[in-house]
Structures are given as structure tokens and as C-alpha cells.
Structure 1
């Protein structure tokens, strides 16, 4: 496959390296050039997808493949199978420091400094050489391709946006909080709750948003409490607790998804969050803004498909336990994972007495439970599923020794020394031992969570292309397209006539991702699928369909 690299130059120009040919293109002419060249399906190589792709999408140009050098550089720097020195060279110190672009970043060609004008072709050559020299080149190539495809999907989801009814959202807020207040003021409903809380605790000037003031009021009322978290407050007996909990819930809604949120993140009838692919060390995504990874239940009724369209909501059941079965090669656990409910499969396989015990024991293994009922279950299940439990146990021991671990495709974990301040190391042996055990719990889960993120990347990469092929010849937003992604769930906005086919394609893409990662073992990744008008209806009776069978 031909690789075409794009590098920014001073004066709003772009350096294009296409095989052996080099040329300069004016930034304003880039969409036309990319659109014409895209007919041959090259792999576009650039420093950061979030900086190049939005302007192309705005010009109506969709890109099929890319290589995101920023994501690739940071991934390869930490990959255990890569010789780090092969990434060193001209401008490499700038690549080491290159961070993700955010939604408030300046326009694409506005900064004139060294980091702004990195040579994509030089860095691409180094990354290709580093991968070729690795003992795990095939896996790393797959990981880099999936990572970069995820970056394309993230930009497309921001561009397309989640269909959003501002009138519905504002009506929900008014019903819960009262009319929109002046800037800096509380809504009427919150003020009424504040008055109720003040009266119940006998503190007329209490500010329930102030942790010190609230703690003092609670203790004066004779309540033994160490913090003001809702989980701690629920166990307290006092006439004011119900109003206080209600206040905290609604105040959080007002602050995170209130009228100011609508003003900032909803435009043109779309919620346009900003994703940060590989925002965590495991490869899971995080959010650059808008709460991309969380649409609260209270406002989900505002996510409504356009007239004649539907939302197809698909999530995979028990992703990480299924990933553990596949990456460990544990055939007994893979057998239990057949069908929609892995935990019930463990019961039917005779491993445990009931579903609760299955879930408690398996999650205990992945998160390091060593005591109580979960610890006892882990001991028993280790004999039943030896390969799976040995994999996470080995990862935990490696972490405790200060070593790094890796995902199935080769993403490396931070080492213990990366989490210690070299100027302030743990002072005593007990402190060091606690730190090592904590790091062991992290690496225990890292191998599974990170591989789960890789499966999800392969899933959305394949689904993204399947959706494009479903839509005929129109632009991205006229075809079925991804609008939301959350670890193990996707939401697709699709013409209603294609909704059933989209559901089938989502299931086929899930099976394809499993076959791609776990070639030597068949592991089921069944989906719960809903076809709905409103996101709030996903998963409700009548909306959720049984998992589409593998084809």
C-alpha cells in the first residue's frame, strides 16, 4: 500500500511525500488534493489525526486509512518488543513531547515553531524500521493500524455529532431544576433544596458546595463522617440527608450537563464531543471535552435520531472476561463464554454454584482480590481455569517486581519506576511493599483491559468501513455512521431502512475482531443490540434485540 506523508510548512503550505515524489501544496488546496488521491486508497501519514482530518471532513473528504505518527511514536516508545533507539533521530525529541490536540487548539496552520513543522516522512521511516526490526512486527502493525483507524473514527464522530434535541434537553433541565438562571446563580430548584438542607441542619448560611462547611455541619449534627461523597452520605440517618443527596445529584447535572454545556457542546442539532484516543495508558480512550465518554441518564432522552433515522446501540456483554479467555488460550473459559452470558455459562459448566459467585470470582482474579469471599472463589476457579488465572497472576507478579507487562498486540505498561518521583522515592520498606503490591494490581488488570481496548479498536475500525460501504455514494452523514463510542459500546445513526443491516454488520464486525486477535481459539463476543429513536430507550424491553448470530 502506498504511503503519502503530509508535513506542515511555513506560509500555510504542506509538504507531500508520495513514494519517491515530493511536492508542495497550498493548505487551501489540500482537501482537493487528498480527495483526488484518495481514489487509490493510500495510507495517509501525518503527525496527529485530530489536527489534519477535521478540515478535510469539513470540506467533504473522507479518508479510508491513515497512520497517526503521534499515537504510533508514543506506543512504540513503550512497546517491550521495540528497540527504542531506532526511534531516535532528527526531531525525535519533539515527537517525544508531542501531545494530543484539543477542541480549543488553534487553526491547523497557525503556529510557526519547530514542533509545528515536524517532518512526517522522517518519523514514518523510523517507525517502520522499528516495527520491522521487532520480534512482534505483525502484531504491532495490526495495533498501529487499529490505533490510527480509531483516530479517524474519533474525528468523524466529533464531526457528525450525536443527534441532539436542545428543546428536549432544556425541558428536562427546567422540569428538574427550574427556569434557566442568570450566569453565576443557582437554578430555583437548587435554591429550594439549599434552603431545605440549611433548615434540616440548622445552619442558615451553609454552602453545600463547600466540603469543609458541609463536613462541619454534618459533624455538628452528630454524624460520624469522614467525607461528603454521596456513597458515604447514603448510610447516614438524619432528616436532611435525603435533601442533601438530591441537591448533590442535581447540582452535578447543572454543572456538567446544564445550559452552559448545551451552549458549548451542542451546535446544529448535534452534540459534538471531543475524544482522545489512547488517552489512558491501557489504550482506552478518554475525553478532551464535552464528557465524550458519558451521556448521563437524565439527559439521554435528548439524544434523538433524525426523522426517518434510527440509533443502533450495540454493546458487547462481559468484554474483559471474554478477552481474558482469548488471550490466555483457556479453552474451558472460552467454552463458558459461548452465548450471551459468560457468568451463567460458568455455572452451567459446573465451575461455580451461581452467577453471583462466577462474577465475583472472575472479577476478583482480574482486579486482585485476595481476601473474603472473592479471594476464596479465586482459589477454586484457578483450578478450573488455570491458563486464564495464571496469565493475570503472572502479570501481577511482574508488576510487583517492577517490570512492565504488555497487551496481546504489544502495548507496554508503565513500569513501577515511572510512577515514583525520583527525588522522593518511598522511604521505608513497608511503603515500598505497598507500592509494589498496588502496581501489581495495576499490571494484573492492564493486560486484560488493554487487550480489551485493542479488541474494541479492531471492532470499530471494521464497523466504520462496513458502514461506509452500506451507504451508497453520498457523504459521511448521509450514510450510516458512528456517532458515539464508550469502551464496549457503539452508537450508529442510520436511515431507518438500514437499521437491521447495521445491527447485523455490528455483530459481524465483532466476530471479525475476535477472529483477528484470537486466531487459535474461538471466543464469542455476542452483542446486545437496540434499534431506537432515543438513546434513552436503548436496553429497554421492546428495544433490545437478542444478539445477532455469527455468520
Structure 2
């Protein structure tokens, strides 16, 4: 359910009134002018990277690109203004008034899902950007009168999947607790944030920075988990195939990758990072899809006006339900998550908690 009135209010609060003739909204026009003045007053189109880079260079600021991380590090007042412009421009282009006219009909956002559209088995969408609804626009997702939205998402899914797949004793013990990162914190001097950086770095193949410095701790404390992802990375680098928990196989190496030289080395390392991540992400997708199927089965038979799954992305699911059945749906979500755990990972003590809330508006989930 998508409220055009709420969407208008949000867009006008961010961008100003809808412009006539496809021009820039007032807020974007204002920011474009401020960027130009901050860069010396010469005409600069903030949507043109080449013009922006040239204007910064004339101000003595050398940038390689207009990516957000470079702008955040730039010591110039125009950089902050350009960051704000780019963020609002992205909302205007991706989820603005024109987007709504194309994708929202009859009070419903109607994305085109592509089941298994990603190599890991996760779903994708063909247009509409359903998997990237900006947090600032979630206020437009409002339940119908007499209804609620039950929104549930899996907590710390990837590290829990790594624990279940690797059967690493230390990681399994941590994943049997409520907050996995807090349970791991003692291995990192009691610092929960460092524990999170370390574990996600292991999953995503981050070997530099803080994540790289914490790798020795991971190898010492969680040898089976690290052996699994590092073995997958070696297989990927050498052109081998890796598989998910239920046997989904990663794509073979590209035939046009050079066989030797520096470029070949970079390609091999990149595929190693992909393979390391694949064994976790594809297994996580299997849990999520099993959870979705278990939930839909539990909601079946409630009639045309009963609870319905209306949104699904990665590890999050949304059910639009009559208000009086919200409690039933919350129970069904918890049962579906546990059923998926048993189906995909067997008798593991690893928990896969689903944080679920019944709300009137998607933004109320925090």
C-alpha cells in the first residue's frame, strides 16, 4: 500500500513543490546555485562530473571522482553542498513524482519481481527500485484503514549463516545468543563494534584497514568459520566452483579474463572475494526463501481479505493484515523463521531471530 498524499508531503518537504515542465525542484535549484557560488561563481552543472571536477580543480582541490566518499574527505564548502544535492537528486530521479506515476496505481506500489534474479538466488526487481526504497520515503507506505503492516527482518543473518554452515563451535555458541556481536565482543576486548567489523570483513573479504587487522583474532578464535570462507576464496581465485548450503553453484570464471599478468591477478582476487561471499549469501538466500514459503503457507486459506505478503527483500518481509489478525501473523512469522532454520540447516543450535513489529506505517519500524 502506497499513499500518494503522504508521498507528496514527503517530496515537498524534501524538494519543494513539484516543478512544472520537468525542471529542477526548488530545493535542488537552490543547492545548485549555492554549489556554483561556492566554486567561484562560474557556471557549473552539479549533474556533470567533468564540470564539477574541473571547477574543484580550479579551486585547488584535486578529486578523482564525485563519489560520496571522496566528497566527504574534500576540504571545501562546496563538497558538503554537492553531497546534499546528489542525495536529494537521487530521490527525485529514483522515487519522485514521475516514478510514482509509472509504478503506483490504485494506492498500490506494483514492482516487477524477478525471482532468483541474482546469482546468489536472491530476488531482484525489473524497474521500480523496490529493493532500494529510501528510508526517508517509507512514510508513504501506509496500511489501509482497519489494517496493519507486520514488518519482520532477520537480525545479523550473514554471520548466523556462517556459523550454521561452518559449524564453528565458538561462532555457533555466539549465534545461539540474542545479540551475536555482543556475544563475540569478549574476543575483541569487549568491543561489540570491532566484533561486527571483523565478522563482516571475513564474510565480504575485507583484508585491509581495521577488518584486516582483526583477521588473526578471527583465525585463532573461530578456525572452522575462517577455514570455510578462506577455502572458498582460494577456490574462486583458482577458477573453482563453490556451492551454497543447498547446492546452488556459483557461475564459472569469465572466459575473457586474461590468463596471466597484473590484470589477471586482480581478476582472480576479485573472484576470490566473490566466492567467499557467495557461500554465505547464497545460503542466506535459501533460508530467506524457505522462510517466505513457510510464511505464505501459514497465511493461505484466510480468504481474499486475509493477511497477504506484500513486500519481500533479501531478509525482510512485510505482511498487510486486518488489524485483528496481527497477533496471528506475528506468531506465523516466528514459526516460519524457525521452520526455515530446520529445513535449511538441520538440528543446529544457531538462532535466526526475526525482529517483527505491527505498525500502521513502514516508517514506524525505526
Q: Is the 8 A contact 1:351 1:384 kept in 2?
A: no
Partner of 2:279: 447
1:407 aligns with 2:251: no
- The within-5 A match list for 1:122-521 is 163-347=1-185, 350=187, 353-416=190-253, 419-421=254-256, 425-426=257-258, 428-469=260-301, 471=302, 474-475=303-304, 478-521=305-348
Partner of 1:537: 364
- What stretches of structure 1 move > 6 A for 4+ residues in a row? none
SS in 1 for 2:77: coil
Which structure shows the higher helix fraction?
2
State the shift of 1:327 in Å.
1.3
Q: Is the 8 A contact 1:339 1:526 kept in 2?
A: no
Structure 2 unaligned spans of 5+: none
Give, in whole Å, the separation in 1 of the partners of 2:233 and 2:193.
24
Give, in whole Å, the separation in 2 of the partners of 1:453 and 1:496.
30
Partner of 2:352: 525
State the shift of 1:352 in Å.
5.2
State the shift of 1:239 in Å.
2.7
Q: Residue 396 and residue 262 in structure 1: after superposition, are their counterparts in 2 closer, same or farther (change >3 A)? A: same
Structure 1 unaligned spans of 5+: 1-162, 540-551
**Which deviates further from its counterpart, 261-270 or 518-527?**
518-527
SS in 2 for 1:491: strand
Deviation track 1:244-267 (CA, whole Å, cap 9, x = no partner) reads 222111111111111101100111
Q: Report which structure shows greater RCO (CA 8 Å, sep ≥6).
A: 2
Deviation track 1:312-332 (CA, whole Å, cap 9, x = no partner) reads 111111101111111122233
TM-score, normalisation: structure 1 = 0.64
Q: Residue 282 and residue 213 in structure 1: after superposition, are their counterparts in 2 closer, same or farther (change >3 A)? A: same
Q: Is the 8 A contact 1:466 1:505 kept in 2?
A: yes
Give, in whole Å, the separation in 1 of the partners of 2:107 and 2:57.
47
Number of equivalenced pairs: 366
**Which deviates further from its counterpart, 225-234 or 376-385?**
376-385
State the shift of 1:467 in Å.
1.5
Q: Residue 278 and residue 177 in structure 1: after superposition, are their counterparts in 2 closer, same or farther (change >3 A)? A: same
SS in 1 for 2:98: helix
State the shift of 1:351 in Å.
6.6
